[in-house]
Structure 1
């Protein structure tokens, strides 16, 4: 499982220009079953994605295609988590991808 932080970078002002493409990219990640959750880093510091089901290389390659990453709107920082304990509703996260 991966947590990727998308922290605003030098080209943050261009975010509105690429927002639709970024949202399409997010939708594709959900459609592909790779993304479990996405949201805003508060207060307005960027975003975060919880993902699973892909290898680290596949996940990194997917993140690299985010229009916000490509255009320097955000910088991505990914952390891999090996869940050991979860609430019952999240037990599926403990299964290896």
Structure 2
């Protein structure tokens, strides 16, 4: 499983202009089952994405299509972790239980 920290690197007006395309990209990733949750960071400096378990290469390919990244308006930091405890809603993704 992955936590992706997206940090904006451009002024807010440039980010705001690109957000509709980014939101459309996010919707496609949810439809494809790649993301579990996402939202804007409380400090408004970026976003947080929770990606389901997949190969790091696949995740990097998914992230490479983000319009914010393509337009050089943000960068991603990927944090990989193995879920060993989860709430009932994520039990099927608990890597410790699926081995």
Shift of 1:36: 0.4
Matches of 1:5 and 1:35, distance apart in 2: 13
Q: Is the 8 A contact 2:2 2:53 kept in 1?
A: no
The alignment of Structure 1 onto Structure 2 pairs a total of residues equal to 96
Residues 12, 58 of structure 1: alpha-carbon distance in 2 compared, 3 angstrom cutoff = farther
- What is the TM-score normalised by the length of structure 1? 0.89
Q: Aligned-pair RMSD on alpha carbons?
A: 1.5
Shift of 1:12: 4.8
- What is the TM-score normalised by the length of structure 2? 0.87
Match of 2:36 in 1: 36
Shift of 1:17: 2.1
> Structure 1: which 5+ residue stretches go unaligned?
none
Shift of 1:16: 2.1
Matches of 1:27 and 1:20, distance apart in 2: 11
Residue-by-residue CA offset, 1:31-72 (whole Å, 9 max, x unaligned): 000110010111211101101142110101111110001112
Matches of 1:82 and 1:43, distance apart in 2: 27
Match of 1:55 in 2: 55
SS of the residue corresponding to residue 38 of structure 2 reads strand
Q: Is the 8 A contact 2:6 2:75 kept in 1?
A: yes
> Structure 2: which 5+ residue stretches go unaligned?
none
